[in-house]
Structure 1
Amino acid sequence: MKIKLFRKKNVRKLLMQKGDVQLKKTMGAFDLILLGVGAIVGTGIFILPGTVASEHSGPAIVFSFIIAAIVCALAGMCYSEFASAVPVTGSAYTYSYIVFGEVIAWLVGWALLLEYGLATAAVATGWSGYLSSLLAGFNIEIPHAISGPFSPENGTYINLPAIFIVLVIGYLLTLGIKESTRFNTIMVGIKVTVILLFIIVGIFYVEPPNWTPFMPFGMSGVLSGAALVFFAYLGFDAVSSAAEEVKNPQRNMPIGIIGSLFICTLLYVAVSLVLTGMVPYTSLNVSDPVSYAMQLAHQSWIAGIISLGAVVGMMTVILVMMYGGTRLLYAIGRDGLLPKVMSEIHPKYKTPVKNTWIFATMIACCAGFIPLDKLTELVNMGTLIAFTIVSIGIIWLRKNKDITAGGFKVPFYPILPILSFVMCIFLISQLSFHTWIACGIWFLIGLTVYLIYGKWHSVMEK
């Protein structure tokens, strides 16, 4: 039983897969950076800085972002080495299959499905809210009963805009990754322009006394804030899901992952400094803090542009998160752990059309009918678990004789991979007890699915 549960993939066979099971290589380093920025910059920059600053970190939220960025950068280097050495789709799931075996890979994939699915649904819900406020500026009202987070006691029964945007992005993904990256490039350009506009205009309204006290909740507040703003960096790992569709992955994957993290950290720190300088941190617990700050500065026209930027920005997050989820389902289906329909490639579009529609429909149902405010911590848990596995997995990867020399290597080995592992475990410890319980239930369900279906239908079983 032990051998069967922990059977590992052969790297050479994995890299030699051809024909119907291989995706088309169309992306370069710049496409990957834009994919990363598209995934990362969204909810984290338009919503999180206000709520975390007001309740946890105060103006020291910049330190929370930097701590979370350091953890992500360390994990990002580990992802980069894996993506460079084993350029196939599946991200942390496939990497775990190589170094730890099937059952660990399945649990990591199960955790990532939680991340991609809930994160996409949560962002779609936020997108719906920003869209409603943007349309309200043009005196267009969407009925409250069909346009807010599911809450019958508040008179909201379905979130139609959230369902709509998930299905539209799902359709776009079925057309092909090249078409999707073109759309992403345009949207990222608009989003970054709006953020830079806020920073440039906001600097003139900064009042330094608002930064005092800089650390009102102490270091513990900064650390708990780091565990929460970690949500703002979700998505860079989805870049590694593109490995099989990247030209020269040994060079381009590390550039895409580390480059997108660096750019996003600079944007987050700059926005947080300006935001807490413009408005006292105690007044920032609102759903749209960036627009709110501009309204207080009597710059309503810029607040409107920022709402537009938020609507656009969240669309790119939905795109890349859904992309990561569909490629993960594709990899799991190709391995036989889920039904083969998940790994079927459309002959014309060269994308997994069926699994994209299955995934999009499930997310649309979550976004439309489930209140997601209490589930966002679960997203962080799923991601951090994947990060810990990838970080410590580098040590086993280096021992694998089937891996060819060359490509990106994590510097200061083995110190940095171990440090990444420890910091991820620390951030997991900062999450609430209820999150641990919910995550445990999710993993029990996943293990049951594997023992009933995946173990017996696995390609490795044959």
Structure 2
Amino acid sequence: MKNATIQTSELAKALSLPHIVTLYIGAVIGSGVLLIPGMAAEMAGPASILAWLFMTILVLPMAITMGLLSARHPSSGGVSTFVRLAFGDRYGNMVGWFFLLSVPVGAPIVAVTASHYVAVLLQWSQLQVYLAAGLILFVVVAMNIFGLKVASRVQTIVVSLIVAILVLAVLAALPHAKASHFTPFAPHGWLSIVQVAGLLFWCFIGWEAVTHLSEEFVDPEKNAVRGVLWSAAIVALLYFAVALVTVATHSYGEGRSEASLSVMVQLSLGPIGGWLVGATALFICVATVNAYIGAASRIAYALAREGTAPRWFGRVHAKYGTPVGGLLFLSICFCFVLLVLAMGWIDLTRLIQFPNATFFATYIGGCLAGVRLLKNSRYSRLSAWTSLIVTGGLYPFLGWSALYPLVIVGVLLIWEFKRSKASL
């Protein structure tokens, strides 16, 4: 089995523009499209549409900033490489570990979410839910072992299904839209729009994940920004269409907000709509997990290459050119997190706060790097500064979970001190 041996080598370049677009869409469109439109409409009424429009415009500079940095500095280190170039190795390593320690917790949460949607339809037990979540993670890890070309082809199919189902949901609900559902327009006051905008920010996180795959882009200088622009336009249209029709059909309130998409679809399709939304949830979660596992395994590889992670993190499959060391690390973490959840030692609501905080810290680092590295264009600088102001302004509202990245920093500083002391 000579072909199955593992060694350190270069990652294979396999991602063309269509693959990049589908990876971006899969990373950004998460379970939020199933939950947030109804919740936002309940909080702000029809005026929530303005919040969607506002956030769609506001997060575009963030996406463009990540695309520009990927085009100029393609690397499996992604955001950590940008921070390393801007501020040095210490801070780059910190951001790399922020992202790496987000995915081992975040991916199982997404997989369990997908399993719960299917479990409602098939009346599964809790054990079956966690076994199905484990199966989802196993399949995605296996796809990534065979290479991003395989994983991205699957991603293209899955994202195409997501887009098709969401478009079908919107079109099926249109006959039930009424102008009367837009009055009163702001029943909870205009301030509620700002409050909803903060909630909507979570629907647009994901641009940082694909930066870690940029070393495997075909012609990154040309395709990175184009991929961002195409995917941002598609994501914005899908989110806005779902949110608009949710309001137009009044598929929210009275305990229906968290299942607003299902309510909306069932207006025309009946019970089959529940199955359709269940399938959508599964596809969305698989696409998200695929994007983040691919990204996290690459940052593990990059940290090992920099000498700030165990050497086995940097092992690459000889035949497929994939970072199997990072995938092995993630797999071990997934087993542990699923066990913790299955045993009831912590619930999803509390657990999800930790990866949210580290993702936010990753964005702040990337935006700071963009301010320093993107100086040759006024529009590039404007994108970076806008992104920094948005992310920095929202970070304090994370609450106690905002301390999680600081704990990681403390551990890394202690480890760095001990390593430097041992080398004396």
Question: TM-score surpassing 0.5?
Answer: yes
**Other-structure match for 2:137:** 166
> 1:293-372 alignment to 2 at 5 Å?
293-297=264-268, 299-370=270-341, 371-372=347-348
CA distance in 2, matches of 1:410, 1:62: 32
What displacement does 1:287 show?
4.3
- Cα separation, partners in 2 of 1:455 and 1:41, compared to 1, 3 Å: farther
Please list the CA deviations of residues 296-323 of structure 1 after superposition, one character each: whole Å capped at 9, or x if unmatched: 5562223322321221222111111111
Counterpart check, 1:28 vs 2:12: no
CA distance in 1, matches of 2:65, 2:401: 28
**Which of 364, 367, 370 lines up with 1:394 in the alignment?**
370
**Which of 29, 38, 45 lines up with 2:26 in the alignment?**
38
**Which of 62, 65, 68 lines up with 2:49 in the alignment?**
62
> 1:117-266 alignment to 2 at 5 Å?
117-134=104-121, 136=122, 141-143=123-125, 145-147=126-128, 159-266=130-237
What displacement does 1:416 show?
3.2
- Cα separation, partners in 2 of 1:160 and 1:59, compared to 1, 3 Å: farther
Counterpart check, 1:383 vs 2:359: yes
Contact 1:121/1:363 (8 A) holds in 2: yes
**Other-structure match for 1:418:** 385
Please list the CA deviations of residues 137-184 of structure 1 after superposition, one character each: whole Å capped at 9, or x if unmatched: xxxx322x3245xxxxxxxxxx22222211221111111110101111
Counterpart check, 1:89 vs 2:65: no
Q: How much identity, in percent, do the aligned residues show?
A: 22
TM score, norm. by length of structure 1: 0.82
Please list the CA deviations of residues 348-368 of structure 1 after superposition, one character each: whole Å capped at 9, or x if unmatched: 121111321221331343245
CA distance in 2, matches of 1:313, 1:197: 15
CA distance in 2, matches of 1:285, 1:374: 23
Gaps in structure 1 of 5+ consecutive residues:
1-18, 149-158, 400-408
CA distance in 2, matches of 1:29, 1:73: 19
TM score, norm. by length of structure 2: 0.88
User: What is the DSSP-based 3-state SS (H/G/I as helix, E as strand, rest coil) of the residue aligned with 2:349?
Assistant: coil
CA distance in 1, matches of 2:331, 2:202: 21
Aligned amino acid, residue 271 of structure 2:
S
The RMSD of aligned alpha carbons is 2.6
- Shifted more, 320-329 versus 42-51: the winner is 42-51
CA distance in 2, matches of 1:59, 1:364: 43
User: What is the DSSP-based 3-state SS (H/G/I as helix, E as strand, rest coil) of the residue aligned with 1:282?
Assistant: coil
- Cα separation, partners in 2 of 1:220 and 1:378, compared to 1, 3 Å: farther
Aligned amino acid, residue 146 of structure 1:
L
What displacement does 1:48 show?
2.4
- Cα separation, partners in 2 of 1:420 and 1:234, compared to 1, 3 Å: closer
User: What is the DSSP-based 3-state SS (H/G/I as helix, E as strand, rest coil) of the residue aligned with 2:15?
Assistant: coil
Contact 2:358/2:405 (8 A) holds in 1: no
CA distance in 1, matches of 2:334, 2:205: 17
**Other-structure match for 1:402:** none
Please list the CA deviations of residues 199-229 of structure 1 after superposition, one character each: whole Å capped at 9, or x if unmatched: 1111111123333333333344323322222
CA distance in 2, matches of 1:120, 1:59: 33
User: What is the DSSP-based 3-state SS (H/G/I as helix, E as strand, rest coil) of the residue aligned with 2:379?
Assistant: coil
**Other-structure match for 2:419:** 456
What number of residue pairs does the alignment pair up? 411
What displacement does 1:58 show?
3.0
Aligned amino acid, residue 352 of structure 1:
P
Contact 1:50/1:284 (8 A) holds in 2: no
CA distance in 2, matches of 1:333, 1:42: 29
**Which of 86, 107, 128 lines up with 1:99 in the alignment?**
86
Please list the CA deviations of residues 90-138 of structure 1 after superposition, one character each: whole Å capped at 9, or x if unmatched: 111111011111222222223223443343222112101111134x3xx
- Cα separation, partners in 2 of 1:21 and 1:263, compared to 1, 3 Å: same
CA distance in 2, matches of 1:263, 1:280: 23
**Other-structure match for 1:281:** 252
Gaps in structure 2 of 5+ consecutive residues:
1-6, 342-346
CA distance in 2, matches of 1:411, 1:33: 26
Please list the CA deviations of residues 213-256 of structure 1 after superposition, one character each: whole Å capped at 9, or x if unmatched: 33333344323322222222222221211111011100101111
- Cα separation, partners in 2 of 1:116 and 1:61, compared to 1, 3 Å: farther
**Other-structure match for 2:3:** none
**Other-structure match for 1:156:** none
- Cα separation, partners in 2 of 1:225 and 1:368, compared to 1, 3 Å: farther
Counterpart check, 1:110 vs 2:97: yes
CA distance in 2, matches of 1:355, 1:310: 27
CA distance in 2, matches of 1:210, 1:147: 41
- Cα separation, partners in 2 of 1:71 and 1:92, compared to 1, 3 Å: farther
Aligned amino acid, residue 262 of structure 2:
S
What displacement does 1:286 show?
4.9
Please list the CA deviations of residues 248-287 of structure 1 after superposition, one character each: whole Å capped at 9, or x if unmatched: 1001011112221221011001001111222353235554
